[in-house]
Structure 1
Amino acid sequence: MKTTKVTLDTPVTIDGAEVREITLHRPLTGQLRGIRLLEVHTLNVDAVAAVLVRTSQPVLTEGAIDLMDPADFTALAQAVLGFFEASTSIPPISSPTSPSSSGGASATSPT
């Protein structure tokens, strides 16, 4: 599973311990249920926080996120967005071809 580490400029407190580094793992599709991906891409704080709670180690709590330095939150949000980029180039989806000029549709058999 792909992971990335983010070093915080200002540590956060999680379960009484001061934390300076957060490891994020690439979310699985099920971990994104109920989250509007467009809102994650526009850095909506609630949407990004929901992803962070589900993908961080140590687990970031909503309270820790609420008290986080905005620059650290932005660094974590950018790391989350990196998980949505394809690791290889994906060719664009081509549009279906128009029917032939003879008026009929054509089909080809798989070879």
Structure 2
Amino acid sequence: MLSDPWNRPELNDLRSILESIGKSDEDHNRNSERLELSVPAEMTTLRGNTISAMTREISRTGIGLLHKGMISPGEVTVRMASDTREFEYRVLIEWCRPCDDGMYLSGGRFLSQKTTTF
């Protein structure tokens, strides 16, 4: 897995951790239906730091992420891409907690979206 704690995680590392976490049977009292979504993403903080991430789930109102390093609650920009489009969202990270191998789970709600076609 990850030998150097300061290296950016590889996609395989992120997928492996997502698989090891599994789904929660707990009811989280959510207003919007969540869909599993496991795609590479990138977060940029207001300070300009870029963090590699993997999406975990998405809904109409928010997104769950897996990444290396603690993120303080606050606004970030999340970027994801498909073969034909790039998606950019402003997200208010509301929580962040540690999980396996020095990785963190976080979740936030969408503030706005900008879509760019390649």
**TM-score if structure 2 supplies the norm length?**
0.25
Larger relative contact order, structure 1 or 2 (CA cutoff 8 Å, min sep 6): 1
Query: Which structure carries more strand by proportion?
Result: 2
TM-score by length of 1: 0.26
